[in-house]
Amino acid sequence: MRLQSFMPQQMLDQKRRRMKIEEDDWNHIENAKAAKALSDAGVKVNNGAHGQIQGMGVHWEMWMMVQGGMSPMAALKASTINGAEYLGMGDDLGSIEEGKLADIVILGKDPLKNIQNSDSVEMVMINGRLYDATTMNEVVTGNTKRRPLWWEN
């Protein structure tokens, strides 16, 4: 898991679900069905991952939305433009358009074919600088190496 490169194992272990989960402890699909029903009724649904493992929460929430019946495109919009519009910032961010601010990810696989491809991140662009997602070293736009993280020796 790529996340293990950027977060100490001890912290990851504290955030993950129990190894043995009760059979009826999977209410996320019912929540996702409710979100889809709201979306079908015209409510703009937003991705609100919180408390999950950083870097994965947004992906898990999109996957959940699709499990609940949303299309992959609807899940992607709930994670991008819908939130920007909710915050009153839809003219500035939330989609890739000329004149908008855009930190973006470049995926190796198409999330419209399978939403779980959302985690096939190969590169990340932040403030116009491009980084390799496996190392977070700058590429193409420069050659800055990622500084060691606090737990790395």
DSSP 104: E
More confident residue, 119 or 11: 119
Q: What are phi and psi of 126, to 5 degrees?
A: -130, 120
pTM equals 0.81
- Domain hosting 116: range is 2-132
Does 145 reside within a domain?
Answer: no
122-135 pLDDT tens trace: 999 998 899 999 89
Does 35 reside within a domain?
Answer: yes
15-56 pLDDT tens trace: 666 666 666 666 788 999 999 999 999 999 999 866 666 677
DSSP 107-150: ESS-TTT-GGGGG-EEEEEETTEEEETTT--B-SS--PPPPPPT
State the average pLDDT for the chain.
Answer: 86
Domain total in the chain: 1
- Stretch 71-89: mean pLDDT: 95
